[in-house]
Amino acid sequence: MFALADCNNFYASCERVFNPSLVGRPVIVLSNNDGCVIARSNEAKALGIKMGEPTFKIKDLIEKNNVAVFSSNYTLYGDMSQRVMNTLASFTPDVEIYSIDEAFLGLHGFNYVDLLDYARKIRKTTMRNTGIPISLGVAPTKTLAKVANHIAKKQPQHQGVYMIANEQQRVDALKEFEIGEVWGIGRQYRKFLARYGVNTAYDFTRMPAGWVKQHLSVVGLRTQRELLGIPCIDLEHSAPPKKAIATTRSFGEMQTDLGYLSEAVASFAVSCAHKLRKQQSVAQVVMVFAHTNYFRDDLPQYSASKTVVLPVPTSSTLELVHFALIGLKSIYKPGFRYKKAGVIVSGISTNQHIQTSLFDSVDREKHNRLMVVMDKLNDKYGRHTVKVAAQGAGRKWKLRQERVSPMYTTRWDDIITVKV
Amino acid sequence: MRLIKTTPEIDFFTADTTYDLSLPLAEGIKAGFPSPAQDYIDLAFDLNKELVKNPSSTFYGRVRGDSMVDEGIYDGDILVIDKSLPPADGHKAVCYIDGEFTLKTIRIKKDGIYLMPANPAYKPIKVTEENDFVVWGIVTYVIHKF
């Protein structure tokens, strides 16, 4: 069985942990340089505030309803994300960090315990340890776990945890689930499928496999099988998500050398940067992680991750490699045999509206031209034709954000004040 | 080792093998003076490990005020706060009450929960239903700079 753990309104929830007076009050978090809304509490959603809405358009609404407004504080969100992920990892060694606020958990071999109880315990512990509320969907496949998570979140009677445990529950859930919401289908297929009378996930599972393969390729076929309860997507072979791009790899042989790990991490960052450019987007956050082989009880175990917040969102290979390596150096400890490492970029937005900062010392135009040439050469002559020699000078950066909350967890001057 | 039997001449011990202490193995002893510290880097104290038992749930707070001076908690001190610990009678807890964080000793009495100061100038606070109250975390250490 798989579980999808998803933090509820993650950025807004992070702000509430350190400011409990915000509980029950509408909270929104703004994008870089406060341009538009990127996160909303339930109360803000109820006011009709949409995702991506430009801030100036809802000025009156904000004032009238006493909405708490925050600039995005990725330093805080990144740190809180690590705390949530570490808490989840204490329940199963099999964790795939899917985005800053989502993780798939492998719950194989847990059959002897009541999984629903276990999931409730995971939720309760995460809430107690970090103050972040999460929802958990448990099901036989990752795609169904996404569906179950949706039910857990939308139907309050389940108290944040729902499990698709049998055939009847699976069918019932899929009959209520709109096909465009299914993981891996996407909205672009919704209209097309509607023409064939496919409106729900259940309708989709009733279509002949050959038809699905013909029109939605093997990816669609895989999704159909997943919805039928047949696991096809393992924790490691996930497709790149919308909210984050991950490049991770298990090493054939365990590695101890920082030099080797650096090369691996640099190449993961190169790959992330390339994927970002392919989809015309930029990322604000780079996370690097490395861990030892969990299945080798006989060896010392170590697992760590580091989140680096970029001053200006970027898709430049040079910058992403630079910051990924800074992250790696801060977590690397000698004496351990590393089995896996990876780079995850998140805080993704379109490259159309990058707001640079006054103190930006990167020549972005030059970087862009270089990346275009690099991509062309690599597309033409094969990947790795042009590589980067990971390097970078220490730069001073700053980002303008007017309503950013304190860095409660990472800066001594910003820790909470306790009146005694 | 555990003492299992004592005779007038000999004490008998049994070996305790429940933990192991790894000692460095000297490979190829050479003349000259090797650095005695070389193999002991990992054995140095790590305050982080000592003060932070649960990294995922540990946060820090800065003390403002003097209501806890008799417990040795002063203005400007840093609190090590563990959110994962369940609150109990006698714990020093960071509580969120009516719009601000405060640190007091929790006293659970028959007629309710009290937040006890440690300074005669302050009165205990009885938590009532009207209060917006939550125990935010339990204080495990106080770091004080002289």
Tell me if B61 and A86 make a contact (CB, 8 A cut-off): no
Q: Residue A157's Cα: distance from chain center in Å?
A: 27
E strand or H helix that includes residue A334: none
Helices (H) and strands (E) in chain B, counts: 1, 9
Average pLDDT rounded to a whole number, residues A150-156: 94
What pLDDT does A353 receive?
61
ipTM rounded to 2 decimals: 0.72
Can you say whether the dihedral through the CA atoms of B132, A38, A416, A285 is positive or negative? Answer: positive
Report the alpha-carbon angle A309-A319-A346, nearest 5. 40
Tokens of B29: 């002893």
Question: Is the entire prediction scored with pTM above 0.80?
Answer: no
What pLDDT does A4 receive?
97
Q: How far is A117 from chain B (nearest CA, A)?
A: 19
Interface test with B, best of A18, A21, A333, A418 (most B CBs within 10 A): A418
Amino acid identity, position A206: R
Residue A163 bridge partners (DSSP): A138
Residues of B in contact with A420 (CB under 8 A): 63-68, 73, 102-104, 117
Phi, psi of B62 (to 5 degrees): -110, 130
In the DSSP assignment, the letter for residue B122 is: S
Residue A301's Cβ-side half-sphere holds a number of Cα atoms within 13 Å equal to: 7
Tell me if B103 and A420 make a contact (CB, 8 A cut-off): yes
Q: Residue A93's Cα: distance from chain center in Å?
A: 19
Tell me if B54 and A418 make a contact (CB, 8 A cut-off): no
What does the pLDDT look like over A257-276, one tens digit per residue? 888 888 889 888 988 888 88
Radius of gyration of chain B (CA): 24
Average pLDDT rounded to a whole number, residues A356-370: 70
What whole-number distance in Å separates Cα of residue A274 and Cα of residue A321? 11
B36 or A95, which is more confident? A95
pLDDT-based confidence at residue B23 (cuts at 50, 70, 90): very low
For tokens 């400890």, name the residue: A333
B66 in contact with A, Cβ within 8 Å: yes
Residue B108 bridge partners (DSSP): B113
Q: Identify which of B96, B99, B100, B84 has the alpha carbon closest to the alpha carbon of residue B138.
A: B84
For tokens 């040079």, name the residue: A318
In the DSSP assignment, the letter for residue B43 is: G
Average pLDDT rounded to a whole number, residues A219-227: 94
B14 in contact with A, Cβ within 8 Å: no
What whole-number distance in Å separates Cα of residue A255 and Cα of residue A139? 34
Question: A408 vs A16, A145, A219, A420, CA distance in Å?
Answer: 12, 33, 42, 19
What pLDDT does A210 receive?
94
**Contact between A100 and A81 (Cβ < 8 Å):** yes
In the DSSP assignment, the letter for residue A76 is: H
- So which residues of B are the catalytic ones? 67, 104
Q: Read out DSSP for A133-193?
A: -EEEEEESSHHHHHHHHHHHHH-GGGTTEEE--SHHHHHHHHHTSBGGGSTTT-GGGHHHH
Q: Which stretch of A160-174, A294-308, B16-30 has the lowest confidence by average pLDDT?
A: B16-30
